[in-house]
Structure formats: structure tokens, C-alpha cells
Structure 1
């Protein structure tokens, strides 16, 4: 997947987890939690959805890398480089 495809995938997951949020104004460099009403369970749902959809294992110590769109895409890019977006 390309960076743009990964971003679209993350947005798709976020829209499933927080359907009432307006994701069109999401700032890539700002923390998801600062911009959205996500609690720790929602955040864990993001990790679980990535595992379910793409079999990506994210160690708990690496959760900090999923704070914003920029950091999430940067973290996921090497893990998802060989995955085709459906």
C-alpha cells in the first residue's frame, strides 16, 4: 500500500469506530485524541481492526506511534508495503 492508501484505510477504520465524527477536517499532524472524542477502548479498536483486516500485529509498546495520522501512516508504511488495498 502507498501512504495515501494507508491513510484512506485508517480513515475508513476511524469512520467505523467513530461514525459521528467529521473526519474531513482531521489534521494529519495533530493527535487523534485532541481532534476526536476517542477513549482508550476506541483506540484499541483501531489496533484490533488493523489486525483483523490486515493481520498486522502492533505491540503495545508501539501504540504511541499511532497518535496522529502522520505518525500512524509512517509506522504502518513498512508493515503494509506488500498489502493490496481492497
Structure 2
């Protein structure tokens, strides 16, 4: 997957978890929780959806890497490099 494809996947997951949020002006370098109404369960839902869709294992100690869109894409890029869309 490319960086834009990974970003699209994350946006899709976020839309499913927080359907009332406007993601059109999401700042990729700002933490999700500062821009959206996400709680810790929503965050775990993101991690679980990535595991379900792409079999990506994300250890709890790596969760801070997923605070922003940029961080999430950077973290997932090597893990999803050979994954078809």
C-alpha cells in the first residue's frame, strides 16, 4: 500500500468509528484526540479494525505512534507495504 492508500484506510476507519465527525479538514500532524471526539475505546476500535482488515499486530507500547495521521501512516507503511488495497 502507498501512503495515500493507507491514509484513505485510516479515514475510512475513522468515518465508521465517528460518523458525525467532519474529517475533511483533518490536520495530519495534530493528534486525533485534539481534533475529534475520540475516547480510549474508539482508539482501541481503530487498532482492532486494522487487525481485522489487514492482520496488523500493534503492540500496546506502539500505540503512541498512532496519535496523529502522519504517525499512523509512518508506522503502518512498512507493515502494509506488500498488502494489496
Provide the aligned C-alpha RMSD in A.
0.3
Q: Where does structure 1 lack aligned partners over 5 or more consecutive residues?
A: none
1:45 maps to 45
Segments of 4+ moved more than 3 angstroms: none
| Equivalent-residue separation in structure 2 for 1:17 and 1:79 (angstroms) | 22
- The number of residue pairs the alignment matches comes to 85
Structure 2 length-normalised TM = 0.99
Q: Where does structure 2 lack aligned partners over 5 or more consecutive residues?
A: none
| Equivalent-residue separation in structure 2 for 1:33 and 1:71 (angstroms) | 13
| Equivalent-residue separation in structure 1 for 2:73 and 2:44 (angstroms) | 17
